[in-house]
């Protein structure tokens, strides 16, 4: 029986009818299909292939593909709310869903907000139509490898994975670490730096190019045996003289840099997985303390004042997290104000830190049995640990920027 209320009640949060429908669809899939599979994916650190089959069948792989191209045409906020519902039931599915959806969202709604001349716009329209068709018609999955183990993923320097322009396309060389969906995605949306002989590397030359997983020179390396988010299968990817045709460009030259500087909320798209985990930790605690967790003896623990206080503390944190996150995702837009950007950092920080804190409180108050692998809170606890480590907006980097940007206006020094 379904007894989980929507994470964001459509009436209370005044969701659009599309948001209400998409979140309901995700919640149904999550509760009925993903929740039951999550433990095995986590135990074996295997990719949630069956969940992706379900996402494709439900049309959710195309959530941010424009309606004209056969998708749902969901906005940034609609995607974020939908992914959060998935994260309640399987964090790794929600997190990898982000990597896939960004290939549509960034090349779609975000790119539409950015400056391009007519020729660039036409070319981009042709390219993205090809990507969208693959996703809508064939259920193709895209990954998003940008981390390299250096300063590039934090947005400090240009990516060292290089893209050299040649006749008809690009030749890509380099290595990515933590490439979620490696070995499972059909395309890797690689962030790389265009090589311009004689010129100093500049972040303005960042390219976003889809590399077919079966292209010559692509290999997946290393093992994947992490603490949490194990089903993301985030192994290393190596590109050795890999050719990608021009129409694999997910954004034209210069547009990724524009997006990163003018549409900063694009870097919050990892947070829904953890918003979902925060809610999942709270839901578990209520059921457990009421003696209603399926499969366990109906032992009630709710009568102890310490449990009630801890649950109250969890609820306060959850409501604070939801309110701030909802506000931040509602005001995401091109060229946001300074206040909106600071709020986005604060929201990202709050979700990532509080997801882990809610899981910690859940285990402490539910007690020893709750840390057994037979119960989902043990997995949620481990998964939640990863959130604040995710570049480019780690919890540390968010704090760093809130402090600096709160005290200095652009260009100011001491």
Footprint of ligand FAD (CB under 6 A): 99, 144-147, 149, 151, 153-154, 156, 178-180, 229, 232, 234, 386, 389-391, 394, 396-397, 400
Minimum Å distance from CB 382 to ligand FAD?
10
Nearest to 51 by CA among 106, 105, 9, 90: 90
- Of 151 and 299, which CB lies nearer to ligand FAD in the complex structure? 151
Nearer to ligand FAD, 232 or 321 (CB): 232
- Is 162 or 232 the residue whose CB approaches ligand FAD more closely? 232
Strands (E), 51-205: 142-143, 162-166, 169-179, 187-194
Structure tokens that stand for 143 in this block: 């990954």
Q: How far is the CB of 308 from ligand FAD (least distance, A)?
A: 34
Q: Which is nearer to ligand FAD, 161 or 279 (CB)?
A: 161
Q: How far is 233 from 220, CA to CA, in rounded Å?
A: 11
Q: DSSP letter string over 370-398?
A: GGSTTSHHHHHHHHHHTGGG-SSS-HHHH
First to last CA, the chain: 62
CB 52, min distance to ligand FAD, A:
15
Nearest to 109 by CA among 98, 100, 120, 101: 101
> How far apart are the C-alpha atoms of 33 and 294, rounded to whole Å?
16
Taking the complex as a whole, how short is the minimal distance between the CB of residue 367 and ligand FAD, in angstroms?
28
Q: Show the tokens assigned to 236.
A: 């290393």
**Nearer to ligand FAD by C-beta: 27 or 230?**
230
- The residue length of the chain stands at 414
Residue 188 has a CB neighbour count (10 Å cut-off) of 28
- The distance of closest approach from Cβ of residue 264 to ligand FAD in the complex, given in angstroms and rounded to an integer, is 15
Rounded to a whole number of angstroms, the minimum distance from the CB of residue 159 to ligand FAD is: 10
Our CB check for ligand FAD shows the closer of 93 and 180 to be 180
Closer CB to ligand FAD, 178 or 293, in the complex: 178
DSSP strands (E only) in 154-305 = 162-166, 169-179, 187-194, 206-212, 218-221, 235-245, 249-251
Minimum distance of ligand FAD from residue 316's CB (angstroms): 26
Q: Residue 204: name the closest of 261, 278, 163 by CA.
A: 261
**Pairing mode of beta strands 187-194, 142-143:** parallel
Please, which residue, 15 or 38, has the CB nearer to ligand FAD? 38
DSSP helix/strand/coil, 159? coil
Q: From the CB of 1, what's the least distance to ligand FAD, in Å?
A: 32
CB of 154 to ligand FAD, least distance (A): 4
Q: Is 349 exposed, middle or buried (0-12, 13-18, 19+ CB in 10 A)?
A: buried
- Closer CB to ligand FAD, residue 20 or residue 242? 242
């Amino acid at each position: 029986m379904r007894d989980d209320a929507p994470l964001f009640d459509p009436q209370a949060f005044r969701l659009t009818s599309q948001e209400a429908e998409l979140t309901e669809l995700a919640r149904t899939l999550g509760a009925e299909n993903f929740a039951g599979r999550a433990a095995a994916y986590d135990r074996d650190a295997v990719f949630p292939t069956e969940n992706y089959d379900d996402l494709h069948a439900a049309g959710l792989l195309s959530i941010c593909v424009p309606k004209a191209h056969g998708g749902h045409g969901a906005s940034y906020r609609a995607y974020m709310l939908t992914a959060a519902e998935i994260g309640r039931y399987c964090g790794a599915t929600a997190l990898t869903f982000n990597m896939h959806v960004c290939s549509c969202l960034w090349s779609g709604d975000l790119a539409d907000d950015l400056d391009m001349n007519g020729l660039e716009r036409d070319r981009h329209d042709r390219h993205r139509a090809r990507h969208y068709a693959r996703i809508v018609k064939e259920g193709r999955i895209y990954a998003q490898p940008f981390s390299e183990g250096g300063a590039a993923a934090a947005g400090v320097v240009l990516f060292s994975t290089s893209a050299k322009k040649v006749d008809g396309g690009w030749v890509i060389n380099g290595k990515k670490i933590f490439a979620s969906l490696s070995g499972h995605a059909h395309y890797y949306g690689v962030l790389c730096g265009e090589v311009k002989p004689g010129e100093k590397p500049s972040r303005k030359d960042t390219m976003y190019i889809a590399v077919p997983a079966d292209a010559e020179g692509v290999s997946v390396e290393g093992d994947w045996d992490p603490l949490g988010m194990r089903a993301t299968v985030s192994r290393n990817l190596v590109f050795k003289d890999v050719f990608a045709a021009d129409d694999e460009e997910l954004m034209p030259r210069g547009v990724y840099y524009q997006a990163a500087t003018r549409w900063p909320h694009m870097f919050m798209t990892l947070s829904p997985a953890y918003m979902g985990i925060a809610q999942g930790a709270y839901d578990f605690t209520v059921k457990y303390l009421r003696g209603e967790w399926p499969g366990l003896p109906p032992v009630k623990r709710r009568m102890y004042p310490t449990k009630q206080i801890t649950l109250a503390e969890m609820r306060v944190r959850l409501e604070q997290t939801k309110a701030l996150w909802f506000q931040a995702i509602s005001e995401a837009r091109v060229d946001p104000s300074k206040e909106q950007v600071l709020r986005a950092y604060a929201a990202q920080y709050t979700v990532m830190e509080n997801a882990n804190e809610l899981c910690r409180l859940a285990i402490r108050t539910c007690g020893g049995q709750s840390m057994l692998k037979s119960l989902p809170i043990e997995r949620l606890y481990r998964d939640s640990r990863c959130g604040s480590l995710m570049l480019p907006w780690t919890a540390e980097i968010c704090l760093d920027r809130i402090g600096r940007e709160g005290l200095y206006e652009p260009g100011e020094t001491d």
